[in-house]
Chain A
Amino acid sequence: MTETHSTSRATEPVASGIPDGGPPVGEPRPGPFPWLTAELRGSWMETRTAKTLLLSVPGWTGHDPGQHVDIKLTAEDGYAAQRSYSIASASAQGWLQLTVETVSNGEVSPYLVETMDPGDKLQLRGPLGGWFRWTERLTEPALLVGGGSGIVPLMAMLRQRIQSGVATPFHLIYMARTPDHLFYANELYTLMQSHAGVTIDQLYSRSGLPDDSRPPGRLNLDDLPTPTAEPSAVAPRVYVCGPTGFVENAARLLQARGHQSDTIRTERFGPSGG
């Protein structure tokens, strides 16, 4: 049976504007996904409220950037809480990095950012999410559009591109509230200086730097390239990630800019992670 996904569709959604991302990106890892024990090896703050955690995970065999893990914390009295976090690092055996933003009144993020010390443990399973994924086998240029903590899975894609040594053109458009809210600031700057195929546009929504040419504000049409603007003039694969409102706005603008809905994939973080 060789149906393509488009023949199984009945009616097109009425003006939903939801991009469909096209056919799957090659086989994702099969299940099952048992809970693995992870130990914190080190951590550092990216901003005043977000921290990158370096976790050692025996039995972890790597992932495709864009994928996430489920984290489970169990208290001494048996109470447990679970959340999902995008993997921030490129694929590696036995370890991975997460970048977590503290959500006030959250249950899990304050523990990860403020309480957890090196040597402490948690459980995780994955890698999950076969849909929002990039692999170095994809040859089209990549256009990554990230808002706030939506940069995390996109950073994993960028890091994987560098690690794998491919020359795929990458264009990252990263919208942060203010310069104080930037994750990976130094690394992004260095990457752009040292890799010819990587372009990074840093945008601010609330307030920026004195010599910025673009005034701070919400994402708009002019911030986005057309599909044929990339150096190779090949329409890029587009990945959009961030809070739901940002993603829906960006997806709408991208389609207005001419990107076909089957080239756009989105991941919505919701209003808060918790």
Chain B
Amino acid sequence: MSVISRGFGSKRAAADPRIPPGQYRTEDFPVLSAGPTPHLDTAVWALDITAVDGTRHTLSWQQLMELPDEELTVDIHCVTKWSKLGTHWRGVPVTALLDAAQFDTQDTHYALVHSYGGYSTNFPLEDLLDDKAWVVFEYDGKPLAPHHGGPARLLVPHLYLWKSAKWINGIELRPDDRLGFWESLGYHAYGDPWQEQRYVGD
């Protein structure tokens, strides 16, 4: 039984259609992490895309910069209950990355995304395609800061933000789903904020 602390807590925007259930709007950009911030030099940065048969295509920073990028403004929702509206990024759609790798995605139904430092998070492949996911390298018009996942992170705004893996360094295409860092420890395998899919069984 909880004891209410008078005056505590930000007021949730009443019935704001842009805020998913159970979320609170913030103007800050909280920094949350599962480990130390890696400091990565773009000269040695690499993104490995591996196909189901094990074939690997490695993208250097230079190659990432040569792919078509776009500006995007999206709302982001963290499972720890804060939502930030209208965030500005620049990045390369994941679709363009996979096209560059020229893999046959026939047996590929899932992807496990990896980060420098060992973090991982899983997706049905279709949730990374078309206009649903990007590898972003700028936030608010400036190079993405290390504590926010720079030099490059995954951004998948239609799912909870733990899925937008900071410090991305790999996309592993898979025929089956393999749970990532938080998904294997009680968090929902899919993570749709609009259905409040925070934990296993939600």
Contact = CB atoms under 8 A, between A and B. Distances in A.
A120 B5 contact: yes
Given A77-B12, A79-B81, A121 B5 contact: yes
B3 A74 contact: yes
Interface string B6-41: 111100100000000000100010000000000000
A35 B3 CA distance: 10
27 contacts: A37-B3, A73-B8, A74-B2, A74-B4, A74-B5, A74-B8, A75-B4, A75-B8, A76-B4, A76-B9, A77-B9, A78-B2, A79-B9, A79-B81, A81-B8, A105-B28, A111-B7, A111-B8, A115-B7, A116-B5, A116-B7, A117-B6, A121-B3, A121-B4, A121-B5, A122-B5, A123-B2
B interface bracket (residues with beta carbon within 8 Å of A): 10 to 19
A73 B5 contact: yes
A115 B9 CA distance: 11
A119 to B, nearest CB: 8
B3 A75 contact: no
Most chain B beta carbons < 10 A, residue from A37, A73, A78: A73
Most chain B beta carbons < 10 A, residue from A72, A75, A78: A75
Q: Give 9 closest A-B pairs by Cβ, nearest first.
A: A75-B9, A74-B2, A73-B5, A73-B8, A115-B7, A122-B5, A120-B6, A37-B3, A79-B9
Most chain A beta carbons < 10 A, residue from B4, B7, B8, B24: B8
Interface string A162-176: 000000000000000
A80 interface: yes
A122 B12 contact: no
Nearest to B82: A107
